[in-house]
Amino acid sequence: MVPVQDLVAIVVAHDSAHALPDCLAALRAEGVPALVVDNASRDGSADLAERLGARVIRNPRNEGYGRANNIGVRAADAARVLFVNPDLILRPGAVAALRAGAQAYPDAGLYAPRIVEPDGRFFFQAQSFLAPYLQNPQGRRDPPEGDACAPFLSGACLMVERALFLDLGGFDEAIFLFYEDDDLCRRMADAGRALVHVHGAEALHGRGRSSAPEPGRVFRARWHIAWSRAYVARKYGLPDPSRSTLLVNGLKAALSLLVLRRAGWERYGGAAAGALAALRGRSALRREGLR
């Protein structure tokens, strides 16, 4: 019988060949095996990941972030899983620090490293609209100087016990993109588990570089942001932002069309379309041709 590994990294790729080498090299240096779940990449990401030593699951279509991660977790043979975006690079010692954090705070549910953005800024979200149990109405940002509990941990890098993750139902598969991490954090907190920022674990995040640019990407992303925010708000009995999102972004999209500003149309038109779809009861999976 093959022993269960301590930790496996799940990396969801979609046209991520430009980012995978550095991501997988960092995991290899940390001694963590990688399982790449490829969402129908067209740039050879799956073949590249295999050449770099990762185990690869090839999805015939783009399943989205949460659904693909769930596929990876179900296939992983490990006590814990580490979700890692392709554009995230773990710094030396990060995994050891995360393991130490799990040992120091065994009753916590999620552990995340200190994430450093390309401009050197330390990413720390001081509030989440899904976290009424930790109030910060003004969004005051006081980044921790050591380990700390948080209202939200970024899905760019999260460590969790595999059994606990599966017991909670994994990422919500009704969501294609965005707010999957907020939703998971909320369910973890509702289950009585803390969300721990492990300050001694550092990771570099290339924010927005997980997938290569493509036409219509901004419109699609804004559609899903608006739809997913409405979905999770309804899920937890919070005010539905769809009407205000539609009104504000619809007006801005119309103005962008008037002045022939394509970037504005994609940004605001996408948000308006996503909000309208949420109001009409259309699902994100239907938009993407998924069940």
Question: For the segment 162-203, what is each residue's pLDDT rounded down to a tens digit?
Answer: 999 999 999 999 999 999 999 999 999 999 999 999 999 999
Residue 14, token pair as written in the block: 């979609």
Looking at residue 83, its amino acid is F
Segment holding 46, helix H or strand E: helix 45-51
Determine how β-strand 195-205 pairs with β-strand 110-116.
parallel
Report the range of poorest mean pLDDT among 25-29, 155-159, 178-182, 214-218. 214-218
The CB-based long-range contact list for 163-171 (8 Å cut-off, 24+ gap) reads 163/79, 164/109, 164/193, 165/73, 165/81, 166/73, 166/74, 170/66, 170/69, 170/70, 170/73, 171/65, 171/66, 171/67, 171/69, 171/70
Q: How many Å apart are CA 252 and CA 247, to the nearest integer?
A: 9
Tell me how crowded residue 32 is: count the other CB atoms within 10 A of its CB. 21
Domains of the chain and any CATH numbers: 5-205 (3.90.550.10), 217-287 (no CATH)
Residue 249, token pair as written in the block: 């972004």
Cα 191 to Cα 109, 168, 178, 179, 195: the distances in Å are 9, 9, 22, 18, 11
Residue 198, token pair as written in the block: 């492990």
| Residue 78 predicted with pLDDT over 60 | yes
Mean pLDDT of 205-233: 84
102 compared with 136, residue with greater pLDDT: 102
Q: How many Å apart are CA 139 and CA 238, to the nearest integer?
A: 18
Residue 239, token pair as written in the block: 């005010």
Percent of the chain residues topping a pLDDT of 70: 92
Helix, strand, coil distribution of the chain in percent, nearest 5: 40, 20, 40
pLDDT for residue 31? 97
Q: How many Å apart are CA 90 and CA 205, to the nearest integer?
A: 9
| Residue 1 predicted with pLDDT over 50 | no
pLDDT for residue 2? 40
Asked if 41 and 14 touch (Cβ cutoff 8 Å), the reply is yes
- Average pLDDT score, the chain: 92
DSSP secondary structure letter of residue 15: S
